Amino acid sequence: MIKPHGSDTLKPLFVYDVDKHHALQQEAEGLPSLLLNSAAAANAVMLGAGYFNPLTGYMNVADAVSVAEKLHTTDGLFWPTPVLNLSQSIDEIKDAKRIALRDPNVEGHPVIAIQDVDAIEEFSDAQIQMIAEKVYGTTDLQHPGVATFTSLGKFAISGNIQVLNFSYFQQDFPDTFRTAVEIRNEIQEHGWQTVVAFQTRNPMHRAHEELCKMAKEAVNADGVLIHMLLGKLKKGDIPAPVRDAAIRKMVELYFPPNTVMITGYGFDMLYAGPREAVLHAVFRQNAGCTHFIIGRDHAGVGDYYGPFDAQTIFDEQVPQDALQIEIFRADHTAYSKKLNKVVMMRDVPDHTKEDFILLSGTKVRAMLSEGMAPPPEFSRPEVAQILMDYYQNKKD
């Protein structure tokens, strides 16, 4: 099986030993507490689940700056985005060497992790702006990722963590949330050698379905990992339970049995375009996948990125030996009226725009809200029904 990023074996930071876990929970009650923001809590979940392998905790200012500027930490580990515990206030933890990190997303704010405090440093305004510019490609506060990042606070609390739970993800998504450890184990149980991963924060329409099938065939994969983001999204995105139901229905009806794993991970979307595409590749390598689909405007938002910037970053900024996972580069996919099937646009140079069935996201949402199913060439009827039900109930 493909090795994780940066180590021979996966090193998740979740404390699996029952006695040790219990002892840490008891210790946490006597430690100074820090209530995390959602971004830092999501980072703790990803560290615990092994997706951020081989990181052992939150970065300090020097590592965050190095990662933003050069895509590697100060000790040379390739990494695409800073992994930080930022706070607006450190009054409760000044001079503390060990602290309890509390979850902002669960009632009662239970302890999600214990952190050894290596340093508490303050970012300068210039450093915050530089990181935003490098990671998100803009400092525009209309960009949802920039707006979130610049609001988290300037104090960086760095140090190793021990993770005690996976926030709300395990409870709210018991059938879908999986750690990188669990996905690796399941891939081994299937006996799969070649696995292609597909990232989604949206329901999957015909074009996404066919793209997974095309990629599987092109790389002769044993199976497909559909890996959906379960964390915080921007306003207007479809909630995870609805996406989950729609994707499960599509796989049940339109994929051969035992060829797809439907899973999800607990992270808040960054909308960082190319940099986030590289981060997504790291996640999937850590989960044991050999190939990762990157399509048009991957992890993008608005018009901040070119349509294929998330692919070219692998040529221009990612060193050749930095990652073992291979990128499957996809073009825009759509249903061809000429060929009566979904195709990649680059494969049909003789087509004009009129030869495809193309619908904007705005148009699709309007149709679903009015109880109108998009054409079956665009969306499977059973999937459209789930989405129509959601939009109809949302109106009421």
Task: Give the 3-state secondary structure of the chain.
Answer: CCCCCCCCCCCCCECCCHHHHHHHHHHHCCCCEEECCHHHHHHHHHHHHCCCCCCCEECCHHHHHHHHHHCECCCCCECCCCCCCEECCCCCCCCCCEEEEECCCCCCCCEEEEEECCEEEECCHHHHHHHHHHHHCCCCCCCHHHHHHCCCCCEEEEEEEEECCCCCHHHHCCCCECCHHHHHHHHHHHCCCCEEEEEECCCCCHHHHHHHHHHHHHCCCCEEEEEEECCCCCCCCCCHHHHHHHHHHHHHHHCCCCCEEEEEECCCCCCCHHHHHHHHHHHHHHCCCCEEEECCCCCCCCCCCCCCHHHHHHHHCCCCCCCCCEEEECCCEEEECCCCEEEEHHHCCCCCHHHEECCCHHHHHHHHHCCCCCCCCCCCHHHHHHHHHHHHHHHC
Q: Which of 84, 223, 93 is nearest to 149 (CA)?
A: 84
Residue listed under structure tokens 């725009």: 353
Q: Give the residue-averaged pLDDT of 353-364.
A: 90
Q: Which of 98, 202, 248, 365 is catalytic?
A: 202
Predicted pLDDT at 395: 57
Predicted pLDDT at 237: 80
CATH annotation of 175-265+271-395: 3.40.50.620
Q: Residue 396 pLDDT more than 70?
A: no
Backbone Cα Rg of the chain:
21
Q: Which of 98, 160, 201, 248 is catalytic?
A: 201
Q: Residue 381 pLDDT more than 80?
A: yes
Model-wide pTM > 0.85 = yes
Q: How does residue 16 score in pLDDT terms, banded at 50, 70 and 90?
A: very high
307-349 pLDDT, tens digit per residue, is: 999 999 999 999 999 999 999 999 999 999 999 999 999 999 9
Domain 18-167 has CATH 3.10.400.10: yes
Q: Where are the domains of the chain?
A: 18-167, 175-265+271-395
Q: Give the residue-averaged pLDDT of 36-40.
A: 98
233-245 pLDDT, tens digit per residue, is: 777 788 888 999 9
Q: Residue 296 pLDDT more than 70?
A: yes
Percent of the chain with pLDDT over 70: 99
Q: Give the residue-averaged pLDDT of 95-111.
A: 97
201 is catalytic: yes
129-184 pLDDT, tens digit per residue, is: 999 999 999 999 999 999 999 999 999 999 999 999 999 999 999 999 999 999 99
Tell me the average pLDDT of the chain: 95
Q: Residue 227 pLDDT more than 60?
A: yes
